[in-house]
Structure 1
Amino acid sequence: MNELNALFRKRIGFQADVKLTFDKLDEILEKTAQTIPFENFSIMASHLSDINKENIKKKVLVRNEGGLCYELNTALYFFLMENDFDVFLVRGVIYKEGWMTIGRTHVTILLNHEGQTYLVDTGFGGNLPLKPVPLNEKTVVSPNGEFRIKKESTDHGDHILELKLKHKDPDWKIGYAFDSSKPLGNVAELNEIQTIIRENPQSPFNKHPLITRLTNSGNITLTDTSFTQWDDGKMTKEEIDGTRFKELLKKHFDR
């Protein structure tokens, strides 16, 4: 077994000797979301490396850190490739009270299986579908909510991911647009995204430390000023200081 494949399975707690089939992707996505956090610590500390297979493996699977979309989905992309899936990376534009103006800085995975293309994303913070979402407008229901993809041509791509998070969203909202017709030719292209996220004044990830992951009953989010927990639809928020930040980081993220 390839080293990255073995390390990924070990990190998320998936058996080394089990063949990974399409039907097991739900389990893989849930385990990944609960194990590997979405976080911007490298951006905040300016501890950045070129985006390539070896560096992603070291960061996410050897040092057991988390990352942003271009790191988490790239790690998952390499893992899926090594398990013989037909996958490719594409770029998208996040929608948050309007389309973000820093360009196509979201990175996600498209997967072809038995004549259908699916979106697979483990790099969208607390908004993860936790299942492959088909590009045919069919609604997918997971423990994190409802998700669907509409084919719609905009300046930002040819499809739009819509979501309705469990306990949080009464109505459908836009997650991001992406362009299925423009796969990344090389993961080295992601270095441009890393530079934008690190340097652009409008980047949401270069201001304050953030780390979040899903849990069995919701999700947890830690910043330098607060700790937020969602547990079976109930939200609690604690204002914190630097000492408490370190305590919670160790307790909930083993860092």
Structure 2
Amino acid sequence: MEQLVEKYLTQLNINTTLTGLSLISHIKAQHIATLPFSSCNVILNANLSLDAEALFERVVFNRTGGYCFEHNKVMYLVLKYLGFSVKPLIARVLLDGKEDNGRLHRVTLLTFEGEQYLIDVGFGAMNPRFIVPLKNGDIDTINGRYTVIEMDNNHYRLEYTSANTQPITLYRFDLAEFTEMDCNIGHFYSSQFAGAAFVNNLVVSRVMENERVLIRNREVTFFDDAEKEQIVYPITSVQQLHSLLVEHCLLDIAFSDAETLYTFINRER
């Protein structure tokens, strides 16, 4: 793990003189700004091993993107190697409003100096830019308000409210024990099941300090969070899609793979 983590820290230009929550916040910010969230590999039927070496090679060093079971395992392994107390959790995503959705979103629980925090680097364009304290309250950010709601028996909800919209629940979770095998099962479903979201949709995003970019099937949205503006463009050519993936989302992807993805998003449904 030492070589993998040291290479990760170097590639993300991490200031290793920082300590504690400042270091974790810095790593998180650099991760979501540098390493894209992406369902490309799922659509391209790539081998999505979660073994540490293959995972770091694919997501970090080769920069081919990934989703929650990949990104948040990388973060978990990095924080664990650095000596932090972390454990995996699996949440239920509720963006469609269905409370009985399966547990298909990996996150990381951090315990630091007696307090608990949620670390998430795998939720796409709505990913919090900050580490989330596990206590009731609102956190106002450049792109909207995040709200932690503590239910009974260590159950939590994370809500998000953007400008002039009603709150939506991103996901709910509890502090039960989860193992890597639990995560492997969710990862297999998310990448292989015929009805899974990432099997059926091209989703690629990157979250920077003041801006975000989101590709979802045949549209790309640019968010300027500092100016509270967003612009949506249609994706109308392979050349445009490849340019967006490489230049704006920082994916290292062959033009031939962009052709496959472009055919995919224009298929009959």
- 1:8 matched residue in structure 2: 8
Identity value in percent = 21
Residue 230 of structure 1 contacts residue 236 of structure 1 at CA under 8 Å; is this kept in 2? yes
Q: Secondary structure at the match of 1:126?
A: helix
Q: How does 1:80-119 map to 2 (within 5 A)?
A: 80-99=79-98, 103-119=102-118
- Find the aligned partners of 1:228 and 1:25 in 2 and give their Cα distance: 28
In 2, Cα distance between equivalents of 1:141 and 1:11: 30
Q: 1:39 to 1:101 in 2, by over 3 A?
A: farther
**Which of these residues, 201, 225, 243, is aligned with residue 208 of structure 1?**
201
Amino acid at match of 2:105: H
Normalising by structure 1, report the TM-score.
0.88
Structure 2, unaligned stretches of length 5 or more? 253-269
User: Within 1, Cα distance between the matches of 2:64 and 2:11?
Assistant: 10
| 1:227 aligned counterpart, secondary structure | strand
Give the Cα–Cα distance (whole angstroms) in 2 for the partners of residues 4 and 144 of structure 1: 33
1:116 & 1:221 partners in 2: Cα distance? 33
How far apart are 1:19 and its partner, in Å?
4.6
Equivalent residues in 2 for 1:1-255 (5 A)? 2-15=2-15, 17-99=16-98, 103-153=102-152, 158-165=155-162, 167=163, 170-182=165-177, 184-185=178-179, 187-231=180-224, 232-240=227-235, 241-254=237-250, 255=252
Structure 2 vs 1, CA of residues 190 and 215 (structure 1 numbering), >3 Å: closer, same or farther? same
1:87-127 Cα offsets, whole Å, 9 max, x none, are 01010100113127651001001100111111111111112
Q: Which amino acid aligns with 1:113?
A: F
CA distance in 1, matches of 2:216, 2:96: 21
Q: Distance in 2 between matches of 1:100 and 1:249?
A: 33
Measured after TM superposition, the shift of residue 3 of structure 1 is 1.4
For 2:142 and 2:30, the matched residues in 1 are separated by 12
TM-score by length of 2: 0.83
The one-letter code sitting in structure 2 at the alignment partner of 1:239 is P
Shift of 1:253: 2.8
Q: Which has the higher helix share?
A: 2
Contact 1:219 1:229 in 2 (8 A): yes
Structure 1: 5+ residue runs without aligned partners?
A: none
